[in-house]
Amino acid sequence: MKNVTIIGAGSMGTALSILLSGNGHIVKMWSPFEAEIKMLNETREHKDKLPGVKIDENVTCTTDLEEALFGTDLVTLVVPYQTVRENIRNIKKYLVKGQIVTCFSKGLEEATGLRMSQVVLQEVPDIKFVAMSGPCHAEELAKLTPTAYVAASQSLEAASYVQDIFMSPKFRVYTNDDIIGVELGGALKNIIALCAGISDGLGFGDNTKAALMTRGLAEMTRMGIALGACSHTFLGLAGIGDLIVTCTSMHSRNRRAGILIGQGLSPDEAINKVKMVVEGIKTTKAAYSLARKLDIEMPITFEAHEVLFNNKNPKEAVDDLMTRDKTYELRGII
């Protein structure tokens, strides 16, 4: 039994509290929003994001960071990825040297293009960081529908520690030392999921989506290799596994936003209608800048950037992708 602190009480944070308390751990869940914590404490349910799913009575919900982090064995970040730096700055004074911090937030920091591990370790270099990624919607995890995930770290000892805490008959966890590939897979698949949604919104079919996902995986792998990742990581849970679930499920906020954009809404209008963080939009901007800087060929990402930030018509973007100069498919997927 461990003391686990969850930073972030949204849908995934709430789902993880159910998983971890079911594993026998002492769970404290923190949110800066008083109304959210009051709702959780009074109803034991996140009525806005996971209606009908009850939180165990032994999960402590609080807005007090010191209370949430006192005596913790594991800190788990489950906040919007663009707020990870702000949140780690707020909690670092409560962390001890060698503290294990795990992160479920997926994305590239907009201003820097950094992965979440890079952001956290810039702020708190003397902790051990474990990235969590894989195919998992909070709506299904909260109901303990079986899935599998990856715990990735430069420290396999830390990854194994996290694996033991989260592992359950409903949540199988693998370890991996390729933290670059695992984090990039979790971030970049949101771009492709947005595009898959746009494809659906335009009325295209299964053929289009299959081609898009396959060539999207090639782009993810291409960037990964350029940044030092192992290509095989993208064929695992944090790559193709997460890509499949995010591109095909209506639980995916990125796919839902993409559908609306394909139907004619602006990105801002789509975000307002989805009413949740759409990670793929700002990740597209960060990935575009990084690819340009490193001269990485990512045509789907580039066209997504034009649609999202330069008002390009999605149909025109598809036409431009389909009429690029002919080429050959390399062995493998890149």
| Residues carrying an active site annotation | 189
Take residue 108 and report the two structure tokens written for it: 């590239």
Closest CA to 192 of 247, 147, 235: 247
Please state, in angstroms and rounded to a whole number, the distance separating the CA atoms of residues 9 and 87.
13
In the chain, % helix, strand, coil (3-state, to 5) comes to 55, 15, 35
First CA to last CA distance, the chain: 44
In 3-state terms, what secondary structure has residue 148?
Answer: strand
Alpha-carbon Rg for the chain, nearest whole angstrom, is 19
In the numeric block, the tokens 């591990």 are attached to: 117
Helix (H) or strand (E) holding 279: helix 279-294
Query: Where do we find the tokens 């715990």?
Result: 151
**Nearest Cα residue to 165 out of 5, 18, 4:** 4
How far, in Å, CA of 149 to CA of 104, rounded? 11
Closest C-alpha among 59, 31, 30 to residue 43 = 59
Distance CA 312, CA 294 (A): 24
Cβ neighbours of 325 (radius 10 Å): 4
Alpha carbon distance 277, 254 (integer Å): 9
Alpha helix (H) residue ranges in 52-178: 65-69, 84-91, 116-123, 138-141, 156-166
DSSP 8-state code for residue 277? -
User: Could you tell me the two tokens for 201?
Assistant: 């919104």
Report the alpha-carbon angle 294-297-301, nearest 5.
100
